[in-house]
Structure 1
Amino acid sequence: MADLFYFPLFILILTCIFSVSSLNPQVIKEKILWERNGPGEVTEFRIPLLIQVPTGDLLAFSEARKYSGADAGAKFIAMRRSRDGGDTWDPTAFILNDYYSVPDGTNLGTVTIEHETNKLILIHTFCIHHSSPSCLNGTGENPTGLYMVTSSDWGYSWSKSVYLGDRNPLLKGIQYNPGPGYGIQKKYEPNKGRLVSCGQGVTGLYCLVSDDKGLTWRMNSGILNMPQTGVLKTGDFVPGEVQVVELKNGTLLINARNQHTFHCSCRIQALSFDGGETFPLPQVTFKEELIDPRVCGSLLNYNDTLFFSNPFNAKSRINLTLHWSTDSGETYPHYFTIHQRGVAIRV
């Protein structure tokens, strides 16, 4: 049986929550967006992302892995659209195709809305699981690293992929996994208007920032793994897949996978007071109430309430749960079990 893609469900739950005076979430509908061996004869769909664009449409994205469920290998980037709050969805469109001979293909990524120019920015990678400086695909030899595609009509059409290393030489050949999730545009000072997209590199957790509406990007100083030398093992400090949100005072908050279970089987949280330039170590904490089996989680700031979802179990990817915080992430005392079945970042 296919694992269900529950991101649209959260949108429906939140609509229910804020229609009443107190937070009382409930499951009102399930929607399966993708199944194995579905459109395009895709073996497996992984890494689902969801955003709502200013028109109100919901856009769901995923990696459509052609031959296996492995992170490396040939893929499409798939997208579906809903115009009615997630009740019905358009057929799958493939917005990126790395062809069929590629040994290590495209990976999602983050999707960010640039509100000043009404532009969608999808950052993805190519060939980052190999040490080679380039990989072959159907269009020839392409550099390893970070790319982006953009849309000026809310996802109906997309640009060709642009290699970020051509616009910033410091990003050439970098092994870095954005997200997976969504990027943000800061609403408050400092650095109001800045785009921020965070992810995991070989040596730590870093954020890409852009101060020119997404034309060029650079990487911040990040949160480094400990230790920085030798083979990493269980118990080492390794922040992984991550989501960033902005608080109403302009502070950035990130919630990250605790890849090697440092301190606890729980989530890592950190704060930045300078627009994502730095995340000082005194502001790195462990949310012991957010038990986690080392997996990607989801975080949303809605009307100054933080909603976090993950498989709420220390060992297994089961028990999909929604937690929420009304004190800017200091505590997450409230939770709701969505279902107790298996859950993963795949369908």
Structure 2
Amino acid sequence: MKLRRVARGLLAALAGLTAFGAAAAVAGVTPAASADAASTVVYQAGTGGYSCFRIPAIVKANNGDLLAFAEGRKNSCADAGDIDLVMKRLPKGSSTWGPLQIVIQGFGDTKGNPTPVVVPPSADEPDGRVVLLSVMQCISPHASCGRTPRVSISKDNGTTWTAPQVLTTQLGFAAPPGWLATGPSHASVLTRGAHKGRLVAGMSYQINGSAADTGSIIYSDDRGSTWHRGATDASTNNSTLNPQEISLTELPDGKIYASARNNAGTMCSTVERAYAISSDGGQTFSQKFTVEPGLAKTPDVQGSTLALSATDTGGAYTRLIFAGPSVCDHRHALRIRSSFDDGGSWQGDTDGFLVWSQDAAYSDLVSLGTGSAGVLFEGGPQGNSSAAIRWAKFTDEDLGAPACGTGYGIIDQGSLGTAGTVYVSYNAATGKNCVSTMKNSGAGTPSQTTAYLQVEGGTKQTDSGSFSWFAGPVTASAAGKCVTWGGSIGTAKFDAPLGHCG
């Protein structure tokens, strides 16, 4: 797992481990999963009167049902045409998706870019709301109407919907832009800080066809009834940075991480992803869009993000995840990749949890509860990623031990009190152990943090430094040997006795 951290530590890799297998480098690549995750088809191309289905988005309604949205493209799989915005439901506790429901009918035009968000119940809305942002585009022979942003609302967990309301003037446009895209992927409700309860969604637009894309955040402070354009970043050079298809995630410190497709990239140019940060609830960008080097090998395609765990909500450590294809020269091999430092670094392109080894494209992520999530994604055989929209579930354990990566499972842990936890993990495929020290109460603030691993008869291997998020991973082969391990954060220290013999 290739990681770049806030502060670089001292890796004390001394001689003495060669008899038991050479130690892996701290930035060493972890083995990829060898088989696809179990998945089921939600939308199948060529069924229900539709040529294909694209642009998945998914949310968990307040009653526990999963709502899977998509564009139902009638006459072809082209982006513009007669397109309905459709939905299927997976009832709570069921494994069978319900029938297709047309949420917004195309009537010959394009109705798409689903961007849903679930609003919690209130005193006068016991079922809460599902708010659905979308876009309408007129198709010939009608007069051009640009790309019109709209919103629909359901107060019965997606059973019925209001007619779409046009948001053009609310968002500050005199007329619908020539290009505009909400999401696509789920929007978010902020849960921290001064803007708790605010709805935020990603949006990109072009006022005219020759301009670069402007990446933006739109927000609502009245449960999705009205919307405002907040943070904007207009690229000055669309040959180097062109943010589109923006996925938003709230970080534990209340900031918003905006992950974008960089449409200025070329295949394998290592600039296909970009990110920005908002520190004021989406009203402005405190850090404007810049290339995300940690996701450099992603192809030119939409991606989705989700905060799977956070220390301020009971998680033992912070894990932000990204879903997207992982082969740079085409849309292939969808993986879930993790960041343990709020997007500061990411697993490499061959790491992460393999969801689909064949062609894959757009996706969306949804939390299913503590340490569990699912991904709705476009996947098919070679050359046809739009053959189906599929659904797969995974757990924190499937994604691998913290900082160690896919293939490593936690076998023991030592508490450092509120400061954090030291984990020792094992990879059965490689026979290696791994130790990482994950910060909790002080996550995000640099402090002295260590992790160490010693194979019986060998020399202690240590990663130590002023780290903001974690120390490690420290790995070593220990076939037929016992290991001792431990770590520290500040004055809190844990030293395990010799054990875990292989």
Q: TM-score, normalised by structure 2?
A: 0.57
Offset, 1:127:
1.4
Secondary structure, in 3 states, of the residue corresponding to 1:190? helix
Alignment match of 2:329 (pick from 303, 308, 315) = 315
Note if 1:222 corresponds to 2:236. Answer: no
What whole-Å deviation, never above 9, does each CA across 1:7-45 have from its counterpart, x for those lacking one?
xxxxxxxxxxxxxxxxx9985521011112211x11111
What is the identity, as a one-letter code, of the residue corresponding to 2:359?
Answer: G
What SS does the aligned partner of 1:288 have?
helix
Greater mean alpha carbon deviation, residues 173-182 or residues 148-157? 173-182
Name the Cα RMSD after superposition. Answer: 2.6
CA deviations 1:282-334 (Å, max 9, x no partner) are 67452334521110111111222111111101110011111011221111236
Q: Aligned in 2, Cα 1:189/1:320: closer, same or farther, shift over 3 Å?
A: same
C-alpha contact (below 8 Å) 1:290/1:312 kept by paired residues: no
Q: How far apart are residue 161 of structure 1 and its match?
A: 1.2
1:252 Cα deviation after fit: 0.4
Amino acid aligned to 1:60: A
C-alpha change, 1:134 and 1:149, in structure 2 (3 Å) is farther
Aligned to 2:106: 98
Q: SS at the partner of 1:343?
A: strand
Evaluate the alpha carbon distance shift between residue 290 and residue 128 of structure 1 in structure 2; reply closer, same or farther with a 3 A threshold.
farther
Select which of 346, 356, 360 maps to 1:332: 346
Q: Mind listing any 5+ residue stretches in structure 1 that lack a counterpart?
A: 1-23, 136-142
- The whole-number CA distance in structure 2 between the counterparts of 1:92 and 1:297 is 25
User: Among residues 261, 266, 273, which one is paired with 1:267 in the alignment?
Assistant: 273
Q: 1:133 to 1:277 in 2, by over 3 A?
A: farther
Q: Deviations over 1:59-80 (max 9, x none)?
A: 1010001111111111111111
- Deviation of 1:87 (Å): 2.0
Tell me which amino acid in the other structure corresponds to 1:307.
I
C-alpha distance in 2, partners of 1:166/1:338?
41
Please identify runs of 4+ aligned residues in structure 1 that moved more than 6 A: none
1:31 to 19, 33, 40: 40
Q: Which of 44, 55, 61 matches 2:52?
A: 44
Q: CA deviation at 1:218?
A: 1.2
1:122-159 deviations in Å (ceiling 9; x for gaps) = 111111789x9755xxxxxxx85111111001101111
Which letter does structure 1 place at the counterpart of 2:189?
Q
* 1:10 aligned partner: none
Q: Indicate the residue corresponding to 1:245 in structure 2.
A: 249
Residues in 1 aligned to 2:170 and 2:302: alpha-carbon distance in whole angstroms: 29
Query: 8 Å contact 2:36–2:357 — kept in the other structure?
Result: no
1:75 aligns with 2:79: no
| Matches for 1:158-169 after TM superposition, within 5 Å | 158-165=161-168
CA deviation map 1:254-308 (0-9, x unaligned): 1111111287244212211011112234674523345211101111112221111
Contact 1:77 1:96 in 2 (8 A): yes
Change (3 A) 1:31 1:192: same
Higher relative contact order (CA 8 A, sep 6+): 2
Counterpart CA distance in 1 for 2:176 and 2:300 is: 27
> Contact between 1:62 and 1:79, CA under 8 Å: does it hold in 2?
yes
The corresponding residue for 1:54 is: 62
Within-5 A mapping of 1:6-21? none
TM-score (norm 1): 0.80
**Hey, what does 1:291 align to over in structure 2?**
297
State the SS of the aligned residue for 1:294. Answer: coil
CA 71–273 in structure 1, closer or farther in 2 if over 3 Å, else same? same
Q: Would you say the 8 A contact 1:171–1:218 is kept in 2?
A: no
Counterpart secondary structure, 1:73: coil
Q: 1:341 aligns with which of 318, 339, 358?
A: 358
